[in-house]
């Protein structure tokens, strides 16, 4: 079984990606940027952008048949690692009880310079 979850982006088909992909009991959520309806949200706000990205990812996981407690790993990519605590606050609000493996990493930039963060999430469903 392979289930693709769309972000609604017109770039999905030409680039060849999905917001999330479920194969069996594994759900992988692609790099998720702080976008809503094609526009950057929470400009200049690492906390707000991180929370938005994680919430978008959780919605995709739920659409794929998973739940937040199935999340095993998160990745938080920041253009300025000195703001990791703002991103960590948003992460902690959503995952303090689930406590997935988590990595914070600095990257040089994203496609849009207004994006301060992107996230990725992996899930393993207990039973399919």
Residues of the chain with pLDDT under 50: none
N- to C-terminal Cα separation, the chain: 10
Q: Do residues 52 and 41 lie in contact, with contact meaning Cβ atoms separated by under 8 Å?
A: yes
Q: How many beta carbons lie within 10 A of that of residue 58, not counting itself? A: 19
Q: Which two tokens mark 46?
A: 């690492």
Task: Give CA–CA dist 63/111, Å, rounded.
Answer: 26
- Cβ-in-10-Å burial (0-12, 13-18, 19+) of 33 comes to buried
Question: Given this model, what pLDDT does residue 70 score?
Answer: 97
Question: Given this model, what pLDDT does residue 128 score?
Answer: 57
Q: In terms of DSSP bridges, do strands 39-40 and 35-36 run parallel, antiparallel, or are they unpaired?
A: antiparallel
Task: Give CA–CA dist 75/68, Å, rounded.
Answer: 15
51-88 residue pLDDT tens: 999 999 999 999 999 999 999 999 999 999 999 999 99
Question: Given this model, what pLDDT does residue 15 score?
Answer: 93
Mind listing the domains of the chain with CATH numbers? 2-124 (3.30.1330.40)
Q: Do residues 120 and 31 lie in contact, with contact meaning Cβ atoms separated by under 8 Å?
A: yes
């Amino acid at each position: 079984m392979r289930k693709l979850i769309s972000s609604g982006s017109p770039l999905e088909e030409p680039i060849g990606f999905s917001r999330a992909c479920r194969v069996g009991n594994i759900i992988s959520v692609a790099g998720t940027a702080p976008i809503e309806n094609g526009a950057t949200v929470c400009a200049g706000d690492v906390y707000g952008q991180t929370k938005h990205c994680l919430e978008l990812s959780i919605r995709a996981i739920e659409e794929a048949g998973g739940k937040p407690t199935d999340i095993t790993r998160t990745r938080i990519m920041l253009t300025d690692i000195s703001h990791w605590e703002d991103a960590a606050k948003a992460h902690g609000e959503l995952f303090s009880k689930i406590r997935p493996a988590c990595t914070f990493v600095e990257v040089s930039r994203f496609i849009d310079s207004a994006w301060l963060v992107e996230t990725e999430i992996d899930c393993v469903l207990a039973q399919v």
